[in-house]
Amino acid sequence: MYQIWIVIVLGSKIIYDSSPLPVTQSQKCSARELKNYIQCFKEIPLTDYYVLINDSIAISCVVNNQHGKVQWRAKNLVLGYDRSVPGMPRLQIIGDVTKGEHNLKITKAQTEDSGDYECQVQPVDAHPLLRRKSTLHVTKLPSIPYILYKNEIPKNNEIIIDFNVSVKKMLKLICVSEGGLPQPIFQWFWNSREVTTDEMEFILIINIQPNKSSLSLPLSLLKSGHQILCVIKNKATELLESRLQSTYQRFEAKVTVIMFVRSGNPLIQNSNQIVDENNDMEFTCSMKPTGHPKSKLKWSMNITAGFRMENLIKIKYNENQDELITNLLLKKLNRTFHRVNVSCISESPFITKSSPPFQIYVKHNPQKLSIVTFNEESDNPNEKSSFPPFIQQNHLDIISGIENEDINVLCFTSSYYGTLNMKWILQHGDFVDGSKLTIQILSPLLKLDHYLSKNHTIQTFITQKIKLKRTLNSGFIECHATTENQILLKQKTKFNVFYQAKISVISGYVSQFPVHEGDIIHLTCCSYGGNPSPTLRWYKNNSLVLFSDEIKTDKEEQTLDFLYRVFKHDNGQKVFCEAKSENVKVIPVKSNFLIINVIFPPVHLEISCLNCIPNKIMANRTNEFLCESSSSNPGSIITWKLLNCSSIEIGNSTNCSSTVMQGTLSTNFPGQYNGWKTQSKLNLLLNYKQNNFILQCQSRLSHKILPEKYKPIVKNIKLKVLYPPFIMNSLNSLYVFEGSTVNLQYQISANPKATHFSWYFQNRFISSKQNLIIKNIHFNDSGSYKFVVENLLGSATRSFEIDVKYSPKVVKTSINIFNDSAEFFCEASMNPIYSNFSVVWRRIEPNDRIAYRDSRDFLPILSINYSCNSNSKPTNQMRINSNCGINKNNKIYSKLIISPYQESDFGWYQCMFCNGIGMKGRENLHLNIPIKPWYLKISQYSKQGTDISHHSLLTCCFLSHVNPSIFWLVPFSNEIIFSTNTTEIRQSTFCGFLHMYVKEESYFGQYKCQAKNERGSSRLAYVSLLPTFQPDFPESFKLFILFKNNIHLSWIKGADGGSEQTFQLRWWDEKQQSTFRYQTVKGNQSKETLEITISNFSIGSYSIDIGVNSIRYPDFRYCCAISFVVLSDKNDTFDGTNTKSQTHVEYPDVNLENLNLSIYYIIIASSIVVFLSLFFALFIFVCIMKHRRKSSVSLQNRKKSLAVDSLLKLPDTLNESKLMADQLDNSEDIQMKLDPSSEPKELIIDQETIKF
């Protein structure tokens, strides 16, 4: 064979694919190879290896004089040179390598392991390639075989064959064994001799499937006792046999042939079939021949009920060679054995035979008699087409019927077998005269008759017709039956004859007599006789009354009382008594009817409008109302009233003003409870003023019928009159202040309710709500307003004017510069504009020069204000003049003229308008005239601290109308450096910067800066660059008392010394100087001035100072103490914010109006404190003078002069307070400037100290 190998490397495995190429199988070592020491196979593998599944096997491969590497090929997979094959744990190379042993061991071999295996030795130099192939066969044992006959496994491994079948028939067997590998070989043996088709042509062996084999034999050759054997073999059984040897058992299945011979028929030999009850009966059954294999005899009976084992005794069973005999004895046969069939049965493998049935007849008497009634039409006893239905009825102990009724009576027996006679006996009493009892033997209506039941038992019956009389209630009818053995059976039935009672007239209440609601009526009913005794019952309108008294019985008389409380629903009811028997066939007896007449009033009224709806009545239109009372007896009388009630009187109409209305006469018609409804009509014309009036209808019974018991009833309805809206109040022109809230509301009357509201301002729609609320009203809201209200019926309109009074608002500003003059112009809108209006011009400057703020952050810098309080022209003698007036648009204007202007006039100006309402209107204007630069000294920029080898930024700021050139003079090199990043931090405020890197100590010193523009140069300014130092104290530490218990503080930062600085406010109560409270504020490089508000001060005297530290110098240094007094600790509002709960630091915008008010409070409080101090000083002085009156005169004079001097100083303090108040009145920007280094003043009087 020729093969080619294609090698594919997958990991450590090598896969070979084969194609035809010449391959030579190596042989065992030759003499030449052994002599020349050439590698060769010392032992070569076998060509085929066989192994049982799950067993292990080793394929031999031994190499002599090995030089090349050895590997195995398993089918198409090369296993490599590793002796333990990776990834294949069941494969392993075993043997001694030094001896050239490379045997392949396969553990737990599986079917998929079957295939070709080849041992390969690699060629080396003169040593050739060696290879030798073997084939592995994995075998599997087959299952234990079994033989099928007619597709079933024979029972007990026996095959029974009918001997009478045709000899041409064949016996076909199938042997089955599954799961063998390779396919098993089937062998058949007949009586220990192997059966082959070569020996006998009529024997057929066919292998149906790999796991089945069929054997067909002629039945004519078979005899009973022949054995047929199926044996299977394959390579696996051979391996197992070689392993077990003597203990090996063959895989075989065996069956035995039995030839069947039929038996004779069984026969019962008894002749007598009739037996008396409780006697024994014996049966004999025989069968001949017995057959092969022998048959078995059994007894069979068709009885289950009443059968007991003691009734059956098997007395004999004989098995002879040619005959089988069996006997059966039945003892004490009862009636349940009547008509029972007894059979003898023969059972064999192929056929079952039975003897003819032998029927038993057991004589027995009836057990009972039954008396029943029947209908001649439906239960005719002569109709024998079907089994009579009355025989299925139960005996009647009592026969019931109505007097003079004819009934048919029938007596019948229970089932029996034999003969008997029957007759009737009747007994009854005639108690009309109370005398005798009669007994008679009746002639049957029909002759004695019999019925044969399904089980051939007999039932016999006789009939009789009887007319029922009440005398039979004390008698009976009896049926007699006599059997052939003279046993007498009796059955008796009594009679119950029903007859009617008599009833008398009802006594007690008289029909139609009027009674009042709640009264009790008494009725009595009597009855006589009747069977059964009747039940007396009261009926009302043919409905049974369930709550009558118990029935009283006296012999044949029965009475029933009826005590009944009447109500309105009883009015007109018909009452009668009934005597009713329990027997439904007895007709009840009824008394005469009584009619109840109950007086009752109406319980409610209903008012309706016939041509309107009560809650939708059109004004000025006639409406027809109907009042209807509920049912009453007799009918009621209706009256009308119209009530006018206030909202608090509606529930008590007796306090309302009322008008009696004339309606139509009351009309009655049938109503509920057999009473009378009453109606009355009223025509009513209403106007809008009668809206919400009440229409009242009253109903009462006639005064002749107990008026104190029946009160009138009243029904009210509220009348809703519909009309278009109208406005009940009017609004004149309104005068309101700007910022206030205006709530405009009209009182509207309308029905139905107004649905649409419209507000118009200057003929422009603004709102659809009923109320017009204008919050924070603006001066632009002045003008004409109109209100329109609508409902479904119409509309109403009102107009008015609103005049908004508001504080001045600057609407226009300008600055005109021509020649050497500057003209400022401000125009303001305000309401009202007084003839003596107030306009003020003043000079201002920013509160913080390095941070932009609005106009409130400006402070006045001139004590002189330029006022204009009239339209008179100012004089021309002053360089700065102002004038004012009112233009055509009803706006006030003012001009400030500076002529000629000077460089000192450069800066900010403010125009301020006042009309006595709210905040003053103001606007800031900047006069930007050509000036040479001015240096601005800012403390935090005046000197800078740093360390060597660090950067530092020097800042120098100037005022200039244009961006100036700023340059620096460096001290250590006298070099001039221009600032390249000049910045305008505020209008006309420019700052230049110098970035320095300090290399050495010589860089410290004073740096000079100067600014220059087209108008000239500024003076030289100095900025010191120093080693890091402690931060400077803050400057201009100021305190503002904002409002009662809040204070506002501000200060100007000093130089920070080279690191970020922090400020700490420290305050204390004068009474507890050792207890401090603190508030910390971080420094802000973009601000010159810092501010803080502190809240929640209690009443008392306090001092506060300020401290500063830095990161480099963390200890705070304090200065600039200020004392102040808090007069109230109430929670007040400041700028709309509740500040009592605020404990954090805030920076609010100062409300100057509130600030003015706070200053006024401080001045007044200071005056009071001064006055109290004076009074207290005088009091102490008087006390001390009295105490030291006995002292020396010179000492007293000295103390008196001291007190007088102190008192003389206090008015000066008051004068200072008044002067301060005057200044506050002329300025809205208020600040208290105190000397930080000053100490509180003290007044000493006799060693008592008062601070103020």
pLDDT tens string 152-174: 999 888 888 876 655 568 888 99
- Structure tokens of 1185? 């003078």
The highest-confidence range among 10-24, 268-282, 747-761, 1158-1172, by mean pLDDT, is 747-761
Q: How far apart are CA 259 and CA 969, in angstroms?
A: 149
- Structure tokens of 484? 């052939």
User: How many domains in the chain?
Assistant: 11
Q: Judging by DSSP bridges, how do beta strands 204-209 and 212-218 pair with one another?
A: antiparallel
In this structure, which amino acid lies at residue 1112? R
For residue 1225, give the H/E element and its range. helix 1193-1226
Q: How many CB atoms lie within 10 A of CB 491?
A: 19
Q: Are residues 487 and 387 in the same domain?
A: yes
Q: How far apart are CA 141 and CA 179, in angstroms?
A: 7
User: What's the mean pLDDT when you consider all of the chain?
Assistant: 80
High-pLDDT (> 90) share of the chain, %: 25
Is the pLDDT assigned to residue 137 strictly greater than 90? yes
Q: How far apart are CA 503 and CA 534, in angstroms?
A: 10
Residue 903 has a pLDDT of 87
- Structure tokens of 24? 């030579």
Residue 1236 has a pLDDT of 32
Question: Under 8 Å CB-to-CB from 767, ≥6 apart: which residues?
Answer: 757, 758, 759
Residue 645 has a pLDDT of 83
Whole-angstrom CA distances from 325 to 79, 293, 311 are 84, 17, 20
- Structure tokens of 1000? 């050495």
Angle among Cα 662, 663, 668 to the nearest 5 degrees reads 145
Spatial strand order of the sheet with 713-718 comes to: 657-661, 637-644, 694-700, 713-718
Is the pLDDT assigned to residue 384 strictly greater than 60? no
Please give the average per-residue pLDDT across 11-18, as a whole number.
40
Question: Under 8 Å CB-to-CB from 884, ≥6 apart: which residues?
Answer: 837, 839, 868, 869, 870, 871, 892, 893, 894, 895
- Structure tokens of 757? 């509201």
Picking from 927, 954, 972, the residue at the C-terminal end of a domain is: 927
Residue 261 has a pLDDT of 80
Q: Are residues 165 and 232 in the same domain?
A: yes
Token match 């060679």: residue? 321
Band (pLDDT 50/70/90 cuts) for residue 347 is confident
Reference 1207, options 1233, 1241, 1245, 1234; nearest CA is 1245
Q: Are residues 1218 and 1167 in the same domain?
A: yes
Please give the average per-residue pLDDT across 123-130, as a whole number.
91
Reference 1097, options 1081, 1077, 1080, 1122; nearest CA is 1077
DSSP collapsed to 3 states, 1001-1056: HHHCEEEEEEEEECCEECCCEEEEEEECCCCCCCEEEEEEEEECCEEEEEEECCCC
Is the pLDDT assigned to residue 11 strictly greater than 50? no
Q: Are residues 127 and 8 in the same domain?
A: yes
Tell me how far apart the terminal alpha carbons of the chain are, to the nearest angstrom. Answer: 135
Reference 1096, options 1137, 1129, 1138, 1134; nearest CA is 1129
Q: How many CB atoms lie within 10 A of CB 1028?
A: 17
Residue 73 has a pLDDT of 93
DSSP collapsed to 3 states, 318-379: EECCCCEEEEEEECCCCHHHCCEEEEEEEECCCCEEECCCEEEEEEECCCCEEEEEECCCCC
- Identify how many contiguous H helices and E strands the chain contains and give both numbers: 5, 98
Residue 860 has a pLDDT of 64
Reference 837, options 875, 799, 885; nearest CA is 885
Which structural domain range is residue 670 located in?
A: 605-719
Q: Poorest-confidence range of 179-183, 1060-1064, 1239-1243?
A: 1239-1243
Domain for residue 504, yes or no? Answer: no
Q: Are residues 590 and 691 in the same domain?
A: no
Q: How far apart are CA 428 and CA 469, in angstroms?
A: 9
Residue 337 has a pLDDT of 85
Residue 788 has a pLDDT of 95
Q: Judging by DSSP bridges, how do beta strands 398-402 and 488-498 pair with one another?
A: parallel
Token match 């300014």: residue? 1021
Domain for residue 368, yes or no? Answer: no
Domain for residue 1001, yes or no? Answer: yes
- Structure tokens of 1205? 């001097």
**How far is C-alpha 882 from the geometric centre of its chain's CA atoms?**
78
Q: Are residues 1099 and 1049 in the same domain?
A: yes
Q: How far apart are CA 110 and CA 140, in angstroms?
A: 9
Question: Under 8 Å CB-to-CB from 682, ≥6 apart: which residues?
Answer: 624, 625, 626, 627, 640, 661, 662, 663, 664, 695
- Structure tokens of 44? 């070569």
Q: How far apart are CA 61 and CA 70, in angstroms?
A: 10
Q: Are residues 33 and 81 in the same domain?
A: yes
Domain for residue 505, yes or no? Answer: no
pLDDT in tens, 1202-1243: 333 333 333 333 333 333 333 333 333 323 232 333 333 322
Domain for residue 507, yes or no? Answer: no
Please give the average per-residue pLDDT across 1141-1170, as a whole number.
50
High-pLDDT (> 70) share of the chain, %: 80
Q: Are residues 380 and 491 in the same domain?
A: yes
In this structure, which amino acid lies at residue 1119? C
| 934, 958 contact by CB (below 8 A) | yes
Residue 22 has a pLDDT of 55
On the question of a cis peptide bond just before residue 930, with omega within 30 degrees of 0, the verdict is no
Picking from 245, 260, 275, the residue at the C-terminal end of a domain is: 260
- CA 45, 46, 48, 54 torsion-angle sign: negative
- CA 62, 65, 70, 74 torsion-angle sign: negative
Q: How far apart are CA 790 and CA 756, in angstroms?
A: 5
Band (pLDDT 50/70/90 cuts) for residue 1062 is very high
Reference 70, options 102, 36, 105; nearest CA is 102
Token match 């603190």: residue? 1078
Residue 1235 has a pLDDT of 34
Residue 1249 has a pLDDT of 25
Q: Poorest-confidence range of 510-519, 548-557, 755-764, 1205-1214?
A: 1205-1214
Is the pLDDT assigned to residue 100 strictly greater than 80? yes
Of 371 and 199, the one with more pLDDT: 371
Please give the average per-residue pLDDT across 655-659, as a whole number.
83
Spatial strand order of the sheet with 1046-1052 comes to: 1035-1043, 1046-1052, 1089-1094
Q: Are residues 817 and 797 in the same domain?
A: no
Residue 5 has a pLDDT of 40
Of 257 and 1185, the one with more pLDDT: 257
pTM of the predicted structure, to 2 decimals: 0.41
Residue 844 has a pLDDT of 87
Q: Are residues 579 and 651 in the same domain?
A: no
pLDDT in tens, 723-756: 889 888 887 788 899 889 999 999 888 888 899 9
Q: How far apart are CA 3 and CA 920, in angstroms?
A: 119
Picking from 1150, 1167, 1201, the residue at the C-terminal end of a domain is: 1150
Residue 1247 has a pLDDT of 26
Is the pLDDT assigned to residue 146 strictly greater than 90? yes
Total residues found in the chain within this entry: 1252
pLDDT in tens, 600-627: 889 889 998 988 887 788 888 888 999 9
Please give the average per-residue pLDDT across 803-807, as a whole number.
90
Residue 1052 has a pLDDT of 92
Q: What Rg value do the Cα atoms of the chain yield, rounded?
A: 72
Per-residue burial over 182-199, b = 16 or more CB atoms within 10 Å of its CB, e = otherwise: eebebbbebeeeebeeee
Residue 116 has a pLDDT of 94
Residue 1202 has a pLDDT of 35
Q: What is the CATH classification number for the domain harbouring 730?
A: 2.60.40.10
Please give the average per-residue pLDDT across 1042-1066, as a whole number.
88
102 by Cβ neighbours in 10 Å (0-12 / 13-18 / 19+) ranks as buried
Q: How far apart are CA 267 and CA 288, in angstroms?
A: 10
Q: Are residues 241 and 318 in the same domain?
A: no
Q: Are residues 9 and 123 in the same domain?
A: yes
Q: Poorest-confidence range of 275-289, 313-327, 403-417, 511-525?
A: 313-327
Is the pLDDT assigned to residue 946 strictly greater than 90? yes
pLDDT in tens, 386-398: 446 656 678 888 8
Residue 1230 has a pLDDT of 28
Residue 1120 has a pLDDT of 92
Phi-psi group of 1073: left, alpha or beta (phi > 0 → left; psi -120 to 50 → alpha; rest → beta): alpha
Residue 2 has a pLDDT of 35
Spatial strand order of the sheet with 212-218 comes to: 146-149, 170-176, 212-218, 204-209
Whole-angstrom CA distances from 504 to 501, 544, 545 are 10, 19, 19
Q: How far apart are CA 110 and CA 55, in angstroms?
A: 9
